[in-house]
Amino acid sequence: MILRPHFLPPVLAIIASNGSAHASSPFATHWLVYDPGSNPSLNYTDPASALGRPSRFTGDNAEFLYPSAVTAFNGAFNYDQVLSIGTGGHIILGFGAPVRDDPHHHFGIDILVFGNASFIDADYPSGIVGGIFSEGGVVELSADGIHWVAATGVTPDGAVPTVGYSDLLDPFATERGSIPTNFRLPVDPSVDFTGMNYSQVLDAYNGSGGGTGIDIGAYGLSVVNFIRISNTGPNSIEIDAVSRVSSVPAPGVVAVLGLAGIAVARRRRV
């Protein structure tokens, strides 16, 4: 069964969902079409689960009663936290404001896709990266919801697992941390995590919450309003969220902000 928002026809849903109420959100704000495919995971078929920010804590509900932090070795698994897409299925998500190709974005990355992939612990429970549980998927991008460009080489449910907190050194922590990660900050794509312990992983993340990065300019696009995530593989894939990357101020702007801060500090001392 292919689902569409029942309260508005698809075109009107696109228009209504791009109002000012959603424009400030850095995450996907609405879904347009959801086809669960042939074999989605049971109870993980609410498309709203792919909206909003990624999950920081999981297992804290009546279904599981196994509270644990979302770490690079422990992905989110509550029913309302991730959306499953079976073979042949897909979801189309929309942003409240356009995602633009911006040279000031960290590492040139404009969009982050969060699944529930996790590193394989080569020395459980020490947290030594020995590989990754990655279920794949295909990403396509669009400015108008009609014409699509494939983001080749991008794996939506894999590559860089989600991390909820920067201060939890236990890869299987059962408590919440006190320093939330930044879900709009990508991880350096050149990092090879193989063999790292969890402390080294967190250092490499450098405050990021993870996510698979996409440079929309690499695919000839200057603006993206919609992202389509599909599954062409034999196993279901799971999606938690999609975000816009925040910009790094240009050097001149940083200098101006620094001078402004000095001026304010001086006024306060007078």
* pLDDT per residue of the chain (270 residues) written in tens, 0 to 9: 787 774 444 444 444 444 444 678 999 999 999 999 999 999 999 999 999 999 999 999 888 889 999 999 999 999 999 999 999 999 999 999 999 999 999 999 999 999 999 999 999 999 999 999 988 899 999 999 999 999 999 999 888 999 999 999 999 999 999 999 999 999 999 999 999 999 999 999 999 999 999 999 999 999 999 999 999 999 999 999 999 999 876 554 444 444 444 443 333 333
Q: So what's the pLDDT on residue 46?
A: 98
Which of these, 56, 4, 79, lies nearest to 162 by C-alpha position? 56
Question: Dihedrals φ, ψ of 238, to 5°?
Answer: -125, 135
How far apart, in whole angstroms, are the C-alpha atoms of residue 263 and residue 270? Answer: 11
Identify whether the C-beta of residue 240 lies closer than 8 Å to the C-beta of residue 27. no
Which of these, 138, 86, 83, 90, lies nearest to 115 by C-alpha position? 83
The model's pTM: 0.87
